[in-house]
Chains A and B, each alone.
Chain A
């Protein structure tokens, strides 16, 4: 029993260290490679936790290797755009001037309902109001509204009055 307890503590600390080295992103904001590493780490840590016959090193070494590979890969993606495009992909414009870009949607395997749902979730029920809708590399949909459909800002108000913002 004490062996399982100690192994769990060691693996827990290893995963904490690993996650701290990886960075501060939320699960929803993870890039594909980071998502893969996160899922693999959780699996790798849980197996040697229970299987006392498996050496602890067999769980720790893959976790450390994945983290090192992930950090180095993100460092190289930071330095080189080609690597960044290959690893993280590029954003896709799915709506342009209120019209759906079916070619891009086909590449993303996204149907019309999915797109309209994403737009509604982004507080944009009318596709005609959309100047651009872009699927980002982390899967989020960024919506840029047409000028007339954009919410009013303090800057707009000051323009109308001809005054200056303090």
Chain B
């Protein structure tokens, strides 16, 4: 009976972890993706002050988020985002419009991809 109780506790813990990781990834990835969308539109209008402000916020957010993401996703995927974050930072500082937009579009795609990847859908299960 002790092992049955332990198993039920393990299952409750796993469900809790699943719920936490799913909601965390969903909210943070969507938030980062929408930030990238804002960077895309602002960079197109060459509003570099806004772009720079959002980028600084994103770097701070990513610093915290990446620690949790490393526990959930394959480290290569998280590293890929980190590389793009570094790239976009340099492009924004040098005000390279095309490169900033390209990097922002890639990052938006990657965040949306992570959010979709963590959803409990048949597509992901199969």
Chain A residues with a Cβ under 8 A of chain B:
21-23, 52-58, 61, 64-65, 67-68, 71-72, 75
Residues of chain A within 8 A (CB-CB) of B70 are 55
Q: Is B17 an interface residue (CB 8 A)?
A: yes
Contact between B71 and A57, CB atoms less than 8 A apart: yes
Q: How many Å from the CB of A67 to the closest CB on chain B?
A: 7
Interface size on B, residues (CB 8 A): 17
Cβ of B83 < 8 Å from any Cβ of A? no
A-B interface pairs (CB < 8 A), number: 46
A52 to B8 Cα, complex, angstroms = 30
Q: Is B102 an interface residue (CB 8 A)?
A: no
Given contacts A71-B6, A72-B7, is CB(A54)–CB(B75) below 8 Å? yes
User: What CA separation (Å) do A67 and B74 show in the bound complex?
Assistant: 24
> Is there contact, CB below 8 Å, between A21 and B17?
no
- Contacts of B8 on A, CB cut-off 8 Å? 68, 72
Task: Report the bound CA distance from A56 to B73 in whole Å.
Answer: 10
Distance in Å from the Cβ of A154 to the closest Cβ of chain B? Answer: 39
User: Are B73 and A68 interface neighbours, CB within 8 A?
Assistant: no
Beta-carbon contact of B7 and A71 below 8 Å: yes
| A72 to B3 Cα, complex, angstroms | 9
Bound-complex Cα distance A22 to B14 (A): 18
Which A residues touch B17, using CB under 8 A?
A: 57, 61
Partner of B14 from A58, A65, A72 at Cβ < 8 Å: A65
Report how far A67 CA is from B7 CA in the complex, Å. 7
Q: In chain B, what residue has the closest Cβ to A55?
A: B71
Flag if B75 contacts A53 (CB, 8 Å): yes
CA distance A75 to B4 in the complex (A): 7
B-chain residues with CB within 8 Å of residue A75 when the two chains form the complex: 4
Residues of A near B14 (CB, < 8 A) are 61, 64-65, 68
Which residue from B3, B11, B74 sits with its C-beta under 8 Å from A23?
A: B3
Q: Which residue of A lies closest to B6 (CB)?
A: A21
Q: How far is the CB of A20 from chain B (nearest CB, A)?
A: 9
Given the contacts A65-B14, A68-B10, A68-B11, A55 and B74 also touching, CB distance less than 8 Å: yes
Q: Which of B87-123 contact A (CB under 8 A)?
A: none
Q: How far is the CA of A106 from the CA of B8 in the complex (A)?
A: 40
Known: A54-B74, A67-B10, A71-B3; 5 extra A-B contacts, CB below 8 A, are A21-B7, A53-B74, A58-B74, A64-B10, A65-B11
